Chain A
Amino acid sequence: MELRIDKVTKEFKDLKAVKGVDFNFTPGIWGLLGPNGAGKTTLMRMMVGNLRPNQGEIYFDGDTISSLGGEYLGRIGYLPQHFGYDKSQSVEDFLHYIGSLKGIDKATRHKRITDLLEQFNLSDAKHKKVDKLSGGMKRRVGICQAMLNNPDILIVDEPTAGLDIEERRKFRQYLTTISKEKIIILSTHIVSDVEFIANYLILMEKGIIIESGESHTLINSIDGMVFETVVKEEEMHRLEQQYRIMNFRNEGNGLVTIRYISDLPLKNSTQVKPNLNDFYLSKVKEVQ
């Protein structure tokens, strides 16, 4: 199974949101990272057929997704960034509605909805109106609807926005469970969400892919370049101009511990093991 993005460009009136993106998705969990306006949502909307590229094509197992039409859509699950629902519908009614749109027969739908509600801890809320649920619960309903047809390709845009720590942990666990033989693409601002579950990472900025590959390889690419040291507060401004500071912690007495990336470390620095956050911030800064 392969989802191929072939030199895809998408332009809006005065903005080139995606610029000639070329990429192959194979089964596994793909974390799509990038700052606001990087083109992640536009790329995802093209992958689900909601937007048509101005140039290039998207292929699923060798055929363009536009020629596959319903056949392709029947194999995807999608959760948009702004999850929409009908205010008047209950959780169960909403899921049945989406299920019927996905062409799932009533009996299968019933079983699948019961299982998903159970899995996402929504069984008690199934008769409640979606609009009356908390932000986190709404998001979980959104994930349920994307999973209804047990898709081969799951595309989720900011799936953990609004979820609390426990809910995010459960969601990550769920994705890991179902990821076998599926292409799962999730975009997020929350780096920790993809750090532990994504097999592969794609870093986007200003409409282009700036880095991609296996997560640990990418993180390891900056191994030996991440350091921590304690500096005086008044030095911070100067250091920020010279180094890419990823994190800092106030230690009191006018001292600050900084975590930074550099080929040449400052005096008294300790080398630390890099994480995804370090990698992300180092790369995004580079392009800027």
Chain B
Amino acid sequence: MDLFISELKRQMSAKRFICYLLSSIILGGLWSWFVIGGQTEGFMMTGCYKGLKGTAAIEAAAKDRNVYAGKMTVDNFQRSGEVFLNSKNEENEIIMNDDLLKLATYADTLVMQNYKLKKISGDAIDEDEKFQKFPMDFGSHFYENENLYYKSLIDINTKNEAERELAYKMWEDVEKPYTYYGGFEAWRNGIELIQLFAFALLIMVGFFSSGIIAKDKECGLDEIISTTKGGRKKLLFAKLFIPIIMGLLIYTVGMVTYIAILKHYLPANALETSAQLWTTTIVPYNLGEVMGKMIRVGLIGTLTLSAFTTLISSISKKTSTVMSITVLVLVSGFLLSAVMDLNNPVLKAMSLILPGSLVFSFSKFTMVPVVSVFGKALLSLTFSLIISLLMFLISWIMSSLKYVRR
């Protein structure tokens, strides 16, 4: 324990410790300010909340939309469909009115459903008319149409019976009618930006962990350490755990700052909004649950990246080389997981294996996120978690062997 504390003191000098934590707090503040301060509201480019920005826009839109908030009943969908169709003039332009403002979330969801149904069934979409044309009673069939759409989506996106069964079960577990509360749009942006925020935090984690072993070799201290009674063997525990502790601290402090600010400024009940209003997905969660899972999964990704960086640090003789490799791995993981739409199985496998890419888990919650391994179907997120934990263990074992045996 004495040695662990000595190493901890060495790696985390007060100045360094404060610098890292302060950076993650500042990043969390900036990110949340970007989400809240930059938020604008509207409805189909009608400019209904023009001139409003940030909390003013969120509050104004939430005030209108909360009139029909809560369970999204078929009656409200039907009413919104009628109001929407009646709000269009001869030129097919929407004339904003109070009723439409109050039913905007319903109308928006209906319009999107109409578009998605047409797209999945291969019907022609008139780009001039956009996707605004639907029958007057369209809203009264909302949940039947949702069933139709998601079942087709599942059939297209599953490869075998096991995957299909799991996907159907998940879709059946989705609570219907859906729920929404005003302000969920801001939360939706906040959740989507978690990936980018985690990327920034992970760069910091990588920078901290890079020197954990390589710095000793670089400055020549390793030559002395290895000739002491305790030597590398006794130092191993500290070398493995300190990057983990610091990684968790950086990630947790950053995320807590980010979420705390969002929770302070955004309506808390909006987190109860169904995930289906956030994106096309069969996951039976609300926004709060999606966010919680993304953050927890990100934590595992942080652990894996810390362990991986320790491994590279035990191999390389230069801290700068370790940093470069870590950043390269992170950027590749980010590009493959969060930016590119992957159809190539090799790239898909790479995005799974790359340490830290688990933090870019947005895609694990959208569409039909199921995979099958040896005929057994499981959630993509679970599969990624298993791979990530394996990577974590492999990195730790290899670091230990490399460090002690050197």
Contact = CB atoms under 8 A, between A and B. Distances in A.
Contacts of B226: 49-50
Interface stretch (B8-16, B126-134, B160-168, B284-292): B8-16
Contacts of B221: 84-86
B227 A76 contact: yes
Interface residues of B, number: 26
Nearest to A77: B227
B229 interface: yes
Contacts of A82: 220, 223
B222 interface: yes
Interface residues on A, range: 20 to 34
A102 B220 contact: no
Contact of A101 (B215, B223, B225): B225
Contacts of A103: 228-230, 234
A-B complex: 10 closest residue pairs judged by Cβ atoms:
A84-B220, A74-B229, A84-B221, A101-B228, A48-B227, A78-B227, A100-B6, A103-B229, A84-B219, A101-B230
B85 to A, nearest CB: 69
Contact of B229 (A83, A101, A106, A145): A101
B179 to A, nearest CB: 53
A106 B2 contact: yes
A83 B220 CA distance: 6
6 contacts: A50-B227, A73-B227, A84-B221, A93-B10, A97-B7, A103-B230
A259 interface: no
B224 interface: yes
Interface in B351-378: none
A221 interface: no
A96 B230 contact: no
A183 to B, nearest CB: 15
B10 A97 contact: yes
B222 A84 contact: yes
Contact of B10 (A74, A83, A88): A88
B223 A50 contact: yes
A73 B228 contact: yes
Contact of B3 (A70, A84, A101, A149): A101
Contacts of B234: 101, 103
A101 B233 CA distance: 10
A228 to B, nearest CB: 43
A109 to B, nearest CB: 9
Interface string A93-111: 1001110111101100000
B219 to A, nearest CB: 5
